[in-house]
Amino acid sequence: MPKTLYDKLWDRHFVTSVDGDGLLYIDRHLIHEVTSPQAFDGLKQFNRKVRRPDLTIATMDHSISTQSTSLDACGPKNALQLKTLIKNCQVNNIVLYPVGDSHQGIVHVMGPEMGLIHPGMTVVCGDSHTATHGALGTLAFGIGTSDVEHVLATQTIRQTKAKNMRVNFNGELPEGVFAKDMILALIREIGHDGATGFVVEYSGDAISSLSIEGRMTICNMSIEAGAKAGMIAPDDVTFRYLDGKAFSPKGEKFEAMKAAWSMLFSDVDAKFDKTVDIDVSRLSPQVTWGTNPGQVIGIDEAVPQLPDSYSDGDSSAMQKALHYMDINAGQNIGDVAISHVFIGSCTNSRIEDLREAAAVVLNGQVAEQVKAIVVPGSMRVKKLAEEEGLDRVFINAGFEWRLPGCSMCLGMNDDVLKEGDRCASTSNRNFEGRQGRGARTHLVSPAMAAGAALKGKLTDVRLLLRRQP
């Protein structure tokens, strides 16, 4: 029977069935400070050992400061979480990349760049954006803390098989339009719960033309459409990305693995439960106006009018979102002034994202009333960017250049927005209070965020790019 890529990865990792679910073997387990402490406590309580410390990798990202390497910088609660991770990793022989280490970074940025993630793997982490790793042809999904404990103890996890969805992105991306705009446009089309119960495979010529960085941006936000996971079949772009990475196989072994990885694709006749087609050649830069990622429009569009019937759930949700965001129906989104810009997060903090933002910033200045920060996703991204002089571009324009971490993506560290602040953000979530209680988030691409920083308002970055020589 023809199989999808998801079916193939499921079958390869299937250990046994449990009441209609599958018990899957896990090839790579990533951990961070927030969702691991209780899991380790659970192991200790039952005197259990970590079954495969060698397949488990830890980093620090959520609770750290990106302004200081002190573990105490974000208060005693965060410090305790970080110190607990250090202790748990020591006791259980798990490699940890702590703050200050040259490999430290946001878990979904540092893992792939070290070559720890290979096509065909199952990858889990106690973090919803684990879907990011699907960009390398893996089955990767986020798990809860009790599942973290289960994986630590057994290297397996119980899962219900999801349905198959295929999203074809076709056409050529116009100037100023990026992977972030593609995924936002998809969520607009299918809604923020449009992929609930599905694993999504992305394909089409617009996906083949994307770098791994761009593919990660897309897979990362699969979860924001409700999907269990997002994935992209490995191709030459994937193999070139993996070649030479620290933990990639080397020499003949790499060639042998490449041959095996090349077999990881959906069969021609494989059946998908749902298919969506999107033509990217007509896309404009996207920006969210509301409080879920499906409430999104092109920068050249007006905020939608409320539907006629005020009784339906959609319009009351819309009204609530407009009220929280202090935005009017029918308003031109390009008129909205912002107070903050955040370029970072596991969605958009890779080297390519920083290059795209820097290309817009070149020779410009951050608007006076705006506080703008750039937070590279990992120490490696930071180093690369500094070698290319991108840090100078940002600093000279008035941006803060930070250490790697989750930072302003969520209010768990020292980058919390205040009530009424309005942020153009390259992150992935815009729900009420995500960046701080009462703060407002507009999700955009790195180029759009850079444009907003210079203009002090949401801006069509295509106009800024065209003006440059």
x-marked contacts with ligand IPM along 371-410 as a string, rule CB under 6 A:
---------------------------------------x
Give, as ranges, the residues between 222 and 261 that touch ligand IPM (CB under 6 A): none
C-alpha torsion angle, residues 262, 238, 427, 279 (rounded to 10): -70
Which are the contacts of 201, defined by CB distance < 8 A and separation ≥ 6? Answer: 4, 5, 6, 164, 165, 166, 167, 230, 231, 232, 233, 266, 272
Residue 125, annotated as binding a ligand: no
Number of residues that bind ligand IPM (CB under 6 A): 8
CA atoms of 469 and 459, how far apart (whole Å): 19
Query: Does 62 engage in binding with ligand IPM (CB under 6 A)?
Result: yes
Cβ-count burial of 225 within 10 angstroms (0-12 exposed, 13-18 middle, 19+ buried)? buried
Candidates 125-133, 191-199, 373-381, 395-403 — which segment interacts with ligand IPM by CB under 6 A?
Answer: 125-133
Candidates 186, 177, 234, 237; CA nearest to 210 is 237
Query: Does 129 engage in binding with ligand SF4 (CB under 6 A)?
Result: yes
Residue 346, annotated as binding a ligand: yes
Quote the least distance from Cβ 367 to ligand IPM, whole Å. Answer: 28
Query: Does 380 engage in binding with ligand SF4 (CB under 6 A)?
Result: no
Query: Does 340 engage in binding with ligand IPM (CB under 6 A)?
Result: no
Going by the DSSP 8-state scheme, the letter that residue 337 receives in this structure is B
Query: Does 292 engage in binding with ligand SF4 (CB under 6 A)?
Result: no
Q: What is the DSSP string of 204-259?
A: SHHHHTS-HHHHHHHHHGGGGGT-SEEE----HHHHHHHTT-TTS--HHHHHHHHH
From the list ligand SF4, ligand IPM, none, partner contacted by residue 106 (C-beta under 5 to 8 A by kind): ligand SF4
x-marked contacts with ligand SF4 along 82-121 as a string, rule CB under 6 A:
------------------------x---------------
Number of residues that bind ligand SF4 (CB under 6 A): 12
CA atoms of 105 and 344, how far apart (whole Å): 11
Name which of 60 and 453 has its Cβ closer to ligand SF4: 60
Give, as ranges, the residues between 36 and 75 that touch ligand SF4 (CB under 6 A): 61-62
By beta carbon distance, the residue nearest ligand IPM is: 128
Name which of 35 and 292 has its Cβ closer to ligand IPM: 35
**Both ends of the chain: CA-CA distance in Å?**
55
The two tokens of residue 358 are: 């820097």
Candidates 187-195, 200-208, 358-366, 404-412 — which segment interacts with ligand SF4 by CB under 6 A?
Answer: 404-412
From the list ligand IPM, ligand SF4, none, partner contacted by residue 142 (C-beta under 5 to 8 A by kind): ligand IPM
Candidates 215, 136, 138, 202; CA nearest to 170 is 202
Query: Does 128 engage in binding with ligand IPM (CB under 6 A)?
Result: yes
**Residue from 346, 370, 374, 458 that binds ligand SF4 (CB under 6 A)?**
346
Query: Does 34 engage in binding with ligand IPM (CB under 6 A)?
Result: yes
Query: Does 184 engage in binding with ligand SF4 (CB under 6 A)?
Result: no
Q: In what order do the strands lie in the sheet with 28-31?
A: 95-97, 56-59, 28-31, 122-125, 139-142
In the beta sheet, which residues pair with residue 35? none
Rg (CA), the chain: 21
Known binding positions for [4Fe-4S] cluster: 346, 406, 409
Which residues contact ligand IPM by CB under 6 A? Answer: 34-35, 62, 127-129, 142, 410
